[in-house]
A = this chain, B = another copy of it.
Amino acid sequence: MAGGFQAPRVQAGMMATLDFWFDFASTYSYPAMMRIAPLAAEAGVAVLYRPFLLGPIFKAQGWDTSPFNVYEAKGRYMWRDLERLCADLALPFRRPDPFPQNSLLAARVALIGLGDRWGEAFCRAAFRTEFAEGRRIDDTAMIGAVLTDLKLDPAAVLDAAQTDNNKQHLRQQTEEAQRLGIFGAPTFVASDGELFWGNDRLERALQWARDGR
C-alpha cells in the first residue's frame, strides 16, 4: 500500500475530541480542571469530561491511600509544587484536610450533571470548594450547597446520583480507565488512544487531539 491513501485522523466537519479523566480527590486535577475549557476552545477541541475513581487503581498498585501519603518526601514536594503552580496561575489554593478527600459522592453527582447541561460548572465548583476553599466534598450538605449555588434542586440531584444505575455508571468509568492503562490523574486520551498524564501535558494533549500527532 506504499503511497496509498491515508485517512485523516479527524473526519472533515467533525470536531476533534479529547477525553479528560480526573478524580475529584486528585491534586493536579485541580489546575487541569481550571485550565482546560479555555485552552480547548482555543485549540478547537471538544472535551469529554470523564470523572473516575483512582482508589481501585491505587489499590491494584498496592496502595490504600494517595501515593503522596505513602511516599513522604514526594508528598511534601507535591504540596509545595502545587502551591507554586497555583500562584503562577493566579488560582487560589488551600490544602484540604483530610487528604485525600473521599470523592465518591462528587463523582456520582458529576455524572448526573454531565448527562445534563450543568456538569462542567459543577466540576469546577467542586474543585474550587475543595482546593481553593480547603473544604470537604464528601458530605451531602456541602455538595448540596454547591448544587444550590448552581440553581439546582439538591435533593433531586442527590437522589439521581445515588441510584443503582448511576453507581454502576461510575464503576464502568473506573473500569474503562483501568482498561485504557490510566494509573493517575489527570489523564488525557485522544481519540486514537494516545495517552497523556498530568496537568503539565494538557497543552500537548490538545495539540495531539487537534493534529493527530
Contact = CB atoms under 8 A, between A and B. Distances in A.
A80 interface: yes
Interface residues of A, number: 21
Contacts of A183: 71, 73-74, 77
A11 interface: no
B197 A81 contact: yes
A195 B80 contact: yes
A83 to B, nearest CB: 12
A10 B184 CA distance: 38
A5 B88 CA distance: 26
A182 interface: yes
How many copies altogether?
2
A181 B201 CA distance: 25
A88 B207 CA distance: 12
Interface string A182-213: 11100000000001111011001000000000
Nearest to A184: B74
Of A73, A80, A88, most buried by chain B (CB within 10 Å of CB) is A73
Nearest to A57: B73
A181 B73 contact: yes
A201 B85 CA distance: 11
A80 B81 CA distance: 25
A118 to B, nearest CB: 33
A59 interface: no
A206 to B, nearest CB: 14
Report, nearest first, the 8 A-B pairs whose CB atoms are least far apart: A73-B183, A200-B200, A74-B183, A73-B181, A61-B71, A77-B197, A77-B195, A76-B181
Given A81-B197, A81-B201, A198-B200, 10 more contacts: A73-B182, A74-B183, A76-B181, A77-B181, A77-B183, A77-B197, A80-B195, A81-B196, A84-B204, A200-B200
12 contacts: A61-B71, A71-B183, A73-B181, A73-B182, A74-B183, A77-B197, A80-B195, A81-B196, A81-B197, A81-B201, A198-B200, A200-B200
